[in-house]
Amino acid sequence: MIEWRERHISEKQLVLLLSFFVGALSALAATLLKSLIHLIQWLVEEQLIGEGNTWWYLITPFIGITLAALFVKFVVCDDISHGITKILYAISQRKSIIKAHNMWSSIIGSGLTIGFGGSVGAEAPIVLTGAAIGSNMAKAFRLDQKTMMLMIGCGAAGAVGGIFKAPIAGLVFTLEVLLMDLTMTSVAPLLISSVTATAISYILTGMEPMFPLNNYEDFVVSRIPWYLVLGLVCGFVSLYFTRGMNKLERWFKHTITNMWVKLLVGGATLSLLIFIFPPLYGEGYDVIRQLINGDCMSALENSPLEHNEWAARNGYWLLLTYFGSILLFKIVASVATNGAGGVGGIFAPSLFMGAITGFLTARIMNMSGLAIPEANFALVGMAGLMSGVMHAPLTGIFLIAELTGGYHLFMPLMIVSVVSYLTIMLFEPHSLYAMRLAQKGELLTHNKDRNVLTLLKMDNVLETDLKTIFPEMTLGELVKIISESRRNIFPVIDHDGRLRGVLLLDEVRNIMFQPRLYKRFTVGQLMTSPPAVLQHDLPMEKVMEIFEDTGAWNLPVVDDERRYLGFVSKSKIFNSYRHVLVHFSEE
């Protein structure tokens, strides 16, 4: 089949065909995941919880997390959390290979987690699913790594377009969040995947947007200052979201190591929070629909405030306190879900917190005497949080416009998204997705120079053909080694292989032709210390910084125990850089 394809279909035609099928399969996967979640939620909410049986909130989330954790540990036998971070890692390492099980494992894991009430989103798992479909289809047709990277982007674009019915957002998400370059050879496949996935979602689930608007006001220029304020608030809430979730995840990972203890702590925390704050149950999309349509009181259903006379008398302040508490505890609920073994992403939590942020900001302004449309602020608040958390203002703008059909609010969407993004950029240079990879120097960005250095690895530029010498060798023995070598630098090591220094040919050139000195000098007397010593796991960007700081052209490389591994030369890096740049760039 591969041979027939190579004879009859060009690679460019194949890429366009594959982008169509990747988009179609991503849409089907998204529809399957949403159907699974809705089926489990219907069974839980209608058959178990029903009318007034809110005590089930203490049990069902724990059941879902437990089932998901057992599925991941004993069936998948691999970590499937942090889906978008995994995609970024696959792209950054330039392998562009995502394991085949990711085409289905995230669907089951997140379906169980969210269906039973896990406080996370289904979007990141389905994006990983789409990316895995693209990667494995490209691998099946033996396409090169550059094309595999493009197919990963097609899968991600198709997944976003399919699950949200948002074709433009699917394209923009791939460019902004997955950090892929926009070129003429990549834009067509990405658009094909995104549009195909959206069209199939329309066919399977109808034309209505995900969050239809029934109550909104048109944009008024005089309210621009208040939208600027909302943008600032969203920026700082995004900072709380990013740093708070990062710290809580690290605490969960490093403090609790036993799987069963994690299940107990995470499940108990999540169940208790959902019992007190029912809006934290599941993705929270019902609450979003209520807030963007001006029906905040419906969000109190099954909560302690529902039908509470004292709460009715203290309505305004109690409502603010209640929603403010939900805003604070949402990241705790999300981390408890994933930390305990659940599978989910931060798309839905960021949209949920954005809607509440917009609503609370508008309600506080109205209490001070202004006339602010709370539904509008809840809607654009979603764009503000998504822009800040993901560092993706265009994704926030287009996604919310397509999710709600709120194209008439493009101006406030743009204002809030940009201000939120600029605000968080003052404090956090990377999104929550990219933070882990950036700390390891493994993240691709839109800076092509930095990308090429990221793609270069120490193994690609390490030179091991230099002859090693020992400190106790005499000058006469050294001259014999020099005569057999074509290099002008010699690493000096001890008998355990540890680097002691280096000897440059220029340092001995004036005495190497004087036989009377052959026994007078030893290598230990003639060697010098190198300007710097490179660790074997240093990222290439850091290596180049060391070369620039020292002015050296050759530097030795050692392992963690200072055993000599080889040399790196600046000229070899430049040659490899040019080679990778040509291959990496889209002509």
Confidence at residue 586, expressed as pLDDT on a 0 to 100 scale: 45
The amino acid occupying position 127 is V
Give the pLDDT score at 4. Answer: 59
Amino acid identity of residue 68, one-letter, is A
pLDDT tier for residue 213 given thresholds of 50, 70 and 90: confident
Over residues 122-148, the pLDDT tens digits come to 988 999 999 999 999 998 888 877 788
Rounded (to 5) percent helix, strand, coil in the chain:
70, 5, 25
Q: Which range, of 185-189, 301-305, 401-405, 504-508, averages the lowest pLDDT?
A: 301-305
pLDDT mean over 431-459: 60
Residue 116 has pLDDT above 50, yes or no: yes
Tens digits of per-residue pLDDT, 535-583?
888 877 788 888 888 888 889 999 988 899 999 888 777 776 656 555 5
Banded model confidence at residue 95, pLDDT cuts 50, 70, 90 = low
Tokens of 43: 């069974």
**Host H or E run for residue 336:** helix 315-339
Confidence band, pLDDT 50/70/90 cuts, at residue 51: low
What pLDDT is recorded for position 443? 52
Residue 403 has pLDDT above 80, yes or no: yes
* Position 21 pLDDT exceeds 60: yes
pLDDT at 158 over 80: yes
- Look up residue 587 and give its amino acid: E
* Token pair of 83 as six digits: 């889906």
Separation between Cα atoms, residue 380 and residue 371, nearest integer Å: 17
Predicted pLDDT of residue 7: 65
* pLDDT, average across residues 449-469: 73
Please give the Cα distance from 324 to 300 (Å, whole number).
13
The arithmetic mean of pLDDT across residues 208-219, rounded, is 84
pLDDT of residue 445: 47
By C-alpha distance, which of 169, 197, 186, 199 is closest to 16? 186
Task: Tell me how far apart the alpha carbons of residues 383 and 401 are, in angstroms, rounded to a whole number.
Answer: 9
Q: Determine how many CB atoms are found less than 10 A away from the CB of residue 197.
A: 36
Rounded to whole angstroms, how far apart are CA atoms 155 and 164? 14
Which one is predicted more confidently, 431 or 323? 323
Domains, in order of start, for the chain: 2-205 (1.10.3080.10), 221-439 (1.10.3080.10), 451-584 (3.10.580.10)
Question: In the chain, pLDDT over 90 holds for what percent of residues?
Answer: 42
Count CA atoms closer than 13 A to 130's CA, side-chain side: 40
Residues with Cβ within 8 Å of 65's Cβ and at least 6 positions away in sequence, in order, are 113, 116, 118, 263, 266, 267, 270, 337, 340, 341, 342
At residue 314, the pLDDT reads 54
* Chain segment 282-326, per-residue pLDDT in tens: 888 989 998 998 887 776 666 665 555 544 455 567 788 889 999
Classify 500 as helix, strand or coil: strand
pLDDT, average across residues 198-203: 95
**Identity of the amino acid at 185:** T
Q: How confident is the model at residue 587 (pLDDT cuts 50, 70, 90)?
A: very low
Least confident range from 253-267, 427-441, 453-467: namely 427-441
Average pLDDT over residues 70-92: 82
Is the pLDDT at 86 greater than 60? The verdict is: yes
Helix (H, G, I), strand (E, B) or coil at 516: helix
DSSP string, 476-493: HHHHHHHHH-S-SEEEEE
pLDDT at residue number 34: 94
Q: Closest Cα partner for 237 from 359, 401, 405?
A: 359
Cβ-contact 328, 65 below 8 angstroms? no
**pLDDT score, position 191:** 93
pLDDT of res. 193: 96
| DSSP H or E segment with residue 504 | strand 499-504
Q: What pLDDT, on a 0 to 100 scale, did the predictor assign at position 453?
A: 55
- Say what the pTM is: 0.77
The rounded mean pLDDT for the chain is 85
Question: What is the percent of the chain where pLDDT is above 70?
Answer: 87
Which 3 state secondary structure label does DSSP give 474?
strand
- Measured torsion, CA atoms of residues 486, 492, 494, 500, in degrees rounded to the nearest 10: -160
CA distance 246 to 251: 9
Q: What's the mean pLDDT in 467-472? A: 90
Residue 371 pLDDT > 90, yes or no? no
Give dist(CA 517, CA 526) in Å, integer: 12
pLDDT for residue 107: 94
Report helix, strand or coil for 314: coil
The span from the CA of 234 to the CA of 236, in Å, is 5
